[in-house]
Structure 1
Amino acid sequence: MKVFSRRSRTIFWLSLAVILTLPVGVSCVLAEPLTLEQALALARADNPALAEARARIAQARATLAESRAAFWPRLDAGLEYLRGDAPSAYLFKTIDARRLPPQVDFNDPGRFDNIETSLSARLNLFAGGGDRLRLRQAGLLVEQARYDHGALENDLSAAVIDTFLALLSARDHVDIARQSVDVLTREVELAEVRFAGGSLLRSELLSLNVRLAEAQSERVRAQSAENRLQAALAVLLGRETSLTWQPVPEPFTYAPPADFESAVRLALRRRPEPGRAARGRDLAELEHGMARSEYLPRLDLHARLYHDDPDFSYNDDSLNWTLGAQLSWNLFSGFATRAREARALGQVQERSEALRRQRLEIEREVRDAWLALEEAQAVETWAQAALSQARQAFAQVQTRFSGGAADVTRYLDTELAWHRSQINAAAARRDRQRALAALARALGEWGGLGQPSLSGAPSEERSNDGFNP
């Protein structure tokens, strides 16, 4: 009875520790079933970072619409009240109003009042090609924003899949730890009976209790890891971290290209990052063109229709109009234009090297993902083989230990090996799927050019020369 009471207190305190280490909201909120497809759809719809990228696309489109305004005339309406005794103003205003007195002293005409209403228009006929270059630049900014959206969607989708699979792996770990605790609890109960009968040493019973305590601690750590992954997944889905999910186990499959060279070519065609870098280079070339356009003259057409009358007495005879053209040419600006041209050339060179660096970086990412997948496949094969052998060994030793033919040390070693092989096999299976998802991300499978294929071959070949998110 004394041993039983100690064991009861031990289990009580360990159970209390498990309850206290769990978050408050986890135990009281029912987990919602969630498939991988649903998780991806929620992330694309509600993730704040992706919403920010869509907002940046809208801003770029507004900038494009604004740049088109340079090709339209500008129309302004005005109303002006003027009072004074300046001879020149008196002369011009009264003449425009057709009210100049026959005898007036131009040196001292006296005070006057005038109200002028006007309608003016201005149209640029030539600006050295700068307006057209700015229009093309705004269009490239829209495409660049789309590429940013695609790159973010690719990374976000990969992060959701990786976190989802990690959560499944964590739940497997929790289940395995719980099963280990159940098995050890039964063995401790049987060992207490054998100890009471004198067929088991006290030290062996204590060793079993120590192993049970370790298994309880491991279950606590596994549950804590699962809770952290639940919070991480909730953030990716744009939800509160207090929400919990019940991930639906389903196989993640993806058919990569047959060889590494094909994978690299596919990634360079589909990844949004090279397209974004190419648009950055194009923007720099347009900036250089705009700098050179400053060497050319500017030609504007302007027209004005106005009426002067202090009494608002409108009539066709009093209407005035002007129409003219203005040519302006900046002949010298302190070498500022030459400096802007040199700066733009430097930007062209910088963006060109950035494009080359981006392509090399993508090739490295594909290489790393390819090798990681090969490693994960090999590890899964050996982990499954080790699991089968550990299961058989534990079944045999458990039978012998129950009959008293095996000592506690042998039993604990075999149980620990079986427990670890279960964890390793489950983790290896998920790690292979996560490595496959990482390769899909490196190939740009979720780059915003189409929906991902979660259960078969990669989606259709797409070009990163332009797309809508």
Structure 2
Amino acid sequence: MTWRVFLLIPWLVSALPALAGTEAPQRPPRTGHARALTLDEAIDLAFAQNPDLAAAAARIGQAEAHVLEAEAAFYPKVTARMEYSYSNNPALAFSSIVAQRRFNFGMNINQPGWVSNFRPEVVGAMNLYRGGQDTALKKAAELGVEAAELERSALRNRLAAAVTAAYYAVLSAPKQAEVAHRSVETVAKALEHTRARVAEGMALKADVLSLEVRATEAYESELKAKNAMELSRSALKTLLGAGEIPEFREIDPGLPKPEADFGKLLDEALNQRPEMQAAARQVQMREQELEAAQGAHRPRVDAYASYGQNSRSPGDFSFNNDNGSIGLSAEVDVFSGGAVSARIQAAERRIVEAQAIQERTRLEIEDEVRQAHLTLNETLQRLKVAEAGTDSAEEALRLVHEQYRGGTATVTRYLEAETDHANAALRAILARYETRVAEAQLRKALGHWR
């Protein structure tokens, strides 16, 4: 009876830590009377409330902010500043006197004395050319936004599959508990009948003991089944991000009919899976970062302009003393100690790394599709066998029960038939819901919920 009764529950609990729109999802208003949800409604609820998706939306916002930061390099930079100096250095003092429009030929240029100079100033600068670095960094940032959006799509795909598994675990748990309860009742009736026969001298005390052991096992299985019901609901609550555990109603969509051609499935997965597209974006990002690093070898050209005025004290400001300047500057790094070359080499290695990750992602997707396809076909076959076995086990138990009550079957044979019936019923329940979960896993492998 301890056969894998609760197969769906451990799978679900172990899968929970792996789950983690351009706008943060909004929580729908909650009402006092929750109606029963279908699977599609449960998935939509998870998309609206799961905190991992909210975190993914925040990461998209961060990526968009990086784009704005990269675009800022194409706009002028304007700075306002105030300077004060007090010096008797002939060069500095003389330049301050000239800027303040106070020079006369009677001054001793070599001994100007201490000179105060206040200068409020507005300075503007604009990058005209940086070897393509700014353009490459902007493209890399835009690819980063696309990668973040694809990562959110991948999370949605994984979340929907996990919700599906949890949903069917919640639906199957009460049915497993019902089977366990029926087993308890069946053994209890047999135990009562056997005790009566022992009292009449028609059965052995050992038969009662055997049935008592079986009753204990059946009761233990019922307790586990009831606990599994709570575990499955708690797991689904975590995935939905809900404060309350809603009720669910099952809609039977019929048995799935998987595509027989694995090649078609693989092509569909490679074209649809967001993980594959995100890996491609990562390669493109690294290529743009390499372009930016190589741009450091090229010249840089900047334009600048400034406007301000000089005076001996803040109270002496006058537009008669204003002055300004404009100009261009060009520079190129002749030698930087190998820093630029090192950055280029690092960027090249990051491209190789991204390409390797892209290939690994492709292999993982191929393996996931193959396993999901094989598992679905296996569960469909097991479902047919399990349903046929349930009918046989139920009829066998009925016959053995009549024989046992008539005294023509031993208690050992009765226990075997009852155990076979309980296990067959559980196998049928698990096979049906495992088929649904396997179908969801294949959909996830194909990127159905991206």
* Stretch moving more, 401-410 or 65-74: 401-410
Within 5 A, what are the aligned runs for 1:156-171? 156-171=159-174
For residues 136 and 258 of structure 2, what CA distance do their matches in structure 1 show? 41
Q: What do the CA deviations read for 1:77-109 (whole angstroms, capped 9, x no partner)? A: 112233333332222222222123552222322
Q: What do the CA deviations read for 1:50-96 (whole angstroms, capped 9, x no partner)? A: 22222111111100011000000000111223333333222222222
Q: What do the CA deviations read for 1:258-296 (whole angstroms, capped 9, x no partner)? A: 521111111011101111111111122112212221221
C-alpha contact (below 8 Å) 1:115/1:312 kept by paired residues: no
Q: What do the CA deviations read for 1:175-231 (whole angstroms, capped 9, x no partner)? A: 110111122222322333333333332222222222111100111122233333233
C-alpha contact (below 8 Å) 1:256/1:440 kept by paired residues: no
- State the identity %: 34
Within 5 A, what are the aligned runs for 1:443-458? 443-447=446-450
Q: What do the CA deviations read for 1:131-170 (whole angstroms, capped 9, x no partner)? A: 0000001001111111211122211221121122223222
* Stretch moving more, 30-39 or 318-327: 30-39
Match of 1:278 among 277, 280, 283: 280
For residues 313 and 40 of structure 1, what CA distance do their matches in structure 2 show? 72
Within 5 A, what are the aligned runs for 1:142-291? 142-239=145-242, 244=245, 246-251=247-252, 256-257=258-259, 259-291=261-293
User: Could you say what secondary structure the match of 2:156 adopts?
Assistant: helix
Distance 1:311 1:424, change over 3 A: closer
Number of the residue aligned with 2:14:
none
C-alpha contact (below 8 Å) 2:36/2:249 kept by paired residues: yes
What runs of 5+ residues in structure 2 fail to find an aligned partner?
1-32
User: Could you say what secondary structure the match of 1:117 adopts?
Assistant: strand
* Stretch moving more, 293-302 or 96-105: 96-105
For residues 158 and 391 of structure 2, what CA distance do their matches in structure 1 show? 37
* Stretch moving more, 140-149 or 125-134: 140-149
C-alpha contact (below 8 Å) 1:297/1:330 kept by paired residues: yes
Match of 1:411 among 410, 414, 418: 414
Q: What do the CA deviations read for 1:297-322 (whole angstroms, capped 9, x no partner)? A: 00000000011122445444322010
Number of the residue aligned with 2:144:
141
Match of 1:95 among 83, 91, 98: 98
For residues 280 and 99 of structure 2, what CA distance do their matches in structure 1 show? 58
For residues 89 and 401 of structure 2, what CA distance do their matches in structure 1 show? 115
Q: Indicate whether 1:398 and 2:398 are aligned.
A: no
C-alpha contact (below 8 Å) 1:32/1:244 kept by paired residues: no
C-alpha contact (below 8 Å) 2:258/2:373 kept by paired residues: no
C-alpha contact (below 8 Å) 1:185/1:212 kept by paired residues: yes
Q: What do the CA deviations read for 1:7-63 (whole angstroms, capped 9, x no partner)? A: xxxxxxxxxxxxxxxxxxxxxxx9985542343233223333322222111111100
Q: Indicate whether 1:357 and 2:360 are aligned.
A: yes
* Stretch moving more, 299-308 or 334-343: 334-343
User: Could you say what secondary structure the match of 1:294 adopts?
Assistant: helix
C-alpha contact (below 8 Å) 2:386/2:424 kept by paired residues: yes
Q: What is the TM-score with the length of structure 1 in the denominator? A: 0.83
Q: Indicate whether 1:126 and 2:126 are aligned.
A: no
User: Shift of the alpha carbon at 1:234?
Assistant: 2.4
User: Shift of the alpha carbon at 1:391?
Assistant: 1.1
Distance 1:301 1:384, change over 3 A: same
* Stretch moving more, 69-78 or 43-52: 43-52
For residues 56 and 232 of structure 2, what CA distance do their matches in structure 1 show? 25
The letter of the residue matching 2:323 is N
Match of 2:338 among 328, 335, 339: 335
User: Could you say what secondary structure the match of 2:202 adopts?
Assistant: coil
Q: CA RMSD in A?
A: 2.2
For residues 337 and 119 of structure 2, what CA distance do their matches in structure 1 show? 41
Q: What do the CA deviations read for 1:404-434 (whole angstroms, capped 9, x no partner)? A: 3433222221111111100000000011111
The letter of the residue matching 1:308 is N
What runs of 5+ residues in structure 1 fail to find an aligned partner?
1-29, 448-469
For residues 208 and 445 of structure 1, what CA distance do their matches in structure 2 show? 50
The letter of the residue matching 2:250 is P
* Stretch moving more, 361-370 or 33-42: 33-42
The letter of the residue matching 2:347 is A
Q: What is the TM-score with the length of structure 2 in the denominator? A: 0.86
Number of the residue aligned with 2:304:
302
How many residue pairs match? The answer is 416
User: Could you say what secondary structure the match of 1:105 adopts?
Assistant: coil
Q: Indicate whether 1:435 and 2:438 are aligned.
A: yes
User: Could you say what secondary structure the match of 2:297 adopts?
Assistant: coil
* Stretch moving more, 174-183 or 132-141: 174-183
C-alpha contact (below 8 Å) 1:252/1:433 kept by paired residues: no
User: Could you say what secondary structure the match of 2:101 adopts?
Assistant: coil
